[in-house]
Amino acid sequence: MTAPFLSIQNLGVTFTGGTRPVRAVNDVSLDVAEGEAVALIGESGSGKSVTMRAVMRLNPENRSKLEGKIMVGGRDVMGLNTRALSAFRGAEAAMIFQEPLLALDPVYTLGDQIVETIRRHEPISKEAARARALDLFDRVRIPSAKSRLDNYPHEMSGGMRQRAMIALALSCRPKLLLADEPTTALDATVQIQVLLLLRELQRDLGLSIIFVTHDIGAAVEVADRIAVMYAGQIVEQATARDLIRTPRHPYTLGLLKSRAHDAMVKGSKLDAIPGAPPDLANLPEGCPFAPRCFLADAGCRTGSIGIAQISEGHQARCRRLDQTALRDAG
C-alpha cells in the first residue's frame, strides 16, 4: 500500500498563553494521498485552521504545545529545526490564508513578493523569477497579468487578490497545498470560481490539497474525501459521495439538514443544530457533541469515544451508530 503524502497521527494542539489551557485540537489523525483533495469542514472554532497551521508549524511555539506526528513526503515536520522549517514552507508545503489583504505585504507589489519568494528557495535570476510569476498570473486567470504584477494588494479586488495569493502559494512548486477558507468574504459567484480554479490546478499539477471550509456544498464540489471536525476532533470522514449519501455522525447529519436545499418550502426555517459549540478550555466529559445531540444518552457523557470503522474509508466517532444506521435503513 502506498504511503500517504501527508500523514497526521494523533495530533494535539494546546494553547497555554491564557488563564486556562485550551485544547484546540485533540487526537486528530488524517491521511492525504499524493494528488488527493480532502475537505475539512465544521463550525467556527472546531480546530480546522489550527490543524492547518500545525502542519506548517505556524502556531506560536512559546504559547502552544504540539503533540503527535506529522509526516509530509516522508519527512517528520515535528523534528525540523528553524532552518529546515524555513526551507520546508513554500517549497514543499504552502498555505493559502483566509484573508489575502492581511497575508500579503501592503508595501510591495505582488510581482515583487512572488519574485522574492521564488528566489528565497531557488538559485534563479530575477528575470526568470518574474517570468514564472507572470506565467502563474496567467494560470490563475488574472486579466492583464503583465501589468497586474506591478499592482499593490489594495489595488486588486477581493477575488483577484485571492488569485494572486494562490499564485504566490504555487510559486515554488509545492506538492502539498493547504487552503484555509480561501473564499472568505467573497461573494457566491467568485467563491465557486476560486474553488473550481483550485480544483483544476490541483488536478493539473498533481497537488495534495486540503480545503478548509464551512460550506459542505462547496466541499462536495471540490473534494475527493471530506473530514468533519467538531470541538477539536475529526468526528467523521469518508468519500464525498458516501458522506452525503450515508452520513453517520449526528453532527454531520445536523450540518446537512441545516443547509438550504431544493425540497424546502418557501418561507420555512432551516433545521439548525441546537445550542452552541463547547468551551475548548472546559470540554464536557465524554462526547463533546452530546449536549447538542438528539441521540445522546448517559453513556455518551462519560469516558472517551473512539473511532469506529463503518466501511472501507468511512469512519465516525460515535457510540450511537446503531441508531444512525437505522435512520439510513429507514
* Contact present, 289 and 250 (Cβ < 8 Å): yes
Strands of the sheet with 93-96, listed across from one edge: 93-96, 176-180, 208-213, 37-41, 225-230, 233-239, 314-316, 308-311
pLDDT at residue 214, rounded to an integer: 82
At residue 328 the predicted structure's pLDDT band, cuts being 50, 70 and 90, is: low
Q: Do residues 260 and 270 lie in contact, with contact meaning Cβ atoms separated by under 8 Å?
A: yes
pLDDT, greater one: 38 or 284? 38
The cell for 234 is: 475529526
Is 325 inside a domain boundary? yes
Place of cell 487578490: 161
Gyration radius (Cα) of the chain, Å: 21
268 has a pLDDT exceeding 80 = no
pLDDT score recorded for residue 166: 94
- Alpha-carbon distance of 166 to 164, in angstroms, equals 5
Answer yes or no: is 61 within a domain: yes
Task: Look at residue 298 in the predicted model and tell me its pLDDT.
Answer: 92
Is the model's pLDDT at 181 over the cut of 80? yes
Question: pLDDT digits over 38-86, tens only?
Answer: 999 999 889 999 999 999 999 998 999 999 999 999 999 999 999 999 9
CB atoms < 10 A from the CB of 92, how many? 17
Mean pLDDT in the chain?
Answer: 91
Q: Taking a C-beta distance cutoff of 8 angstroms, is the pair 115, 126 a contact?
A: yes
Domain that holds residue 1: 1-79+213-283+307-330
> For the domain that residue 13 is a member of, what is the CATH number?
3.40.50.300
Q: How confident is the model at residue 330 (pLDDT cuts 50, 70, 90)?
A: very low
Contacts of residue 102, Cβ cutoff 8 Å, sequence gap at least 6: none
In a domain, 75, yes or no: yes
Q: Does any domain span residue 65?
A: yes
Average pLDDT over every residue of 204-215 = 91
Q: How many CA atoms lie within 13 A of 226 on its CB side?
A: 28
Q: Which residue has the higher pLDDT, 236 or 265?
A: 236
> Does residue 172 fall inside a structural domain?
no
- pLDDT at position 28, please? 96
Whether 37 is covered by a domain: the verdict is yes
Rama region for 185: left / alpha / beta (φ>0; ψ in -120 to 50; rest): left
* 160 is a domain residue: no
- Report how far Cα 259 is from the mean position of its chain's Cα atoms: 20
Percent of the chain with pLDDT over 90: 74
CA–CA separation, 243 and 241 (whole Å): 6
- Is residue 157 one of the residues assigned to a domain? no
Residue 214 and residue 216: Cα distance in Å, rounded? 6
Half-sphere exposure of 22 (CA within 13 A, CB side): 16
Give residue 327's pLDDT. Answer: 60
Residue 101: per-residue pLDDT: 84
Name the domain count of the chain.
Answer: 1
Q: What is the pLDDT of residue 99?
A: 82
Percent over 70 (pLDDT), the chain: 95
Q: For residue 28, what is the enclosing H or E element?
A: strand 22-32
Main-chain dihedrals φ then ψ at residue 233, nearest 5 degrees:
-125, 150
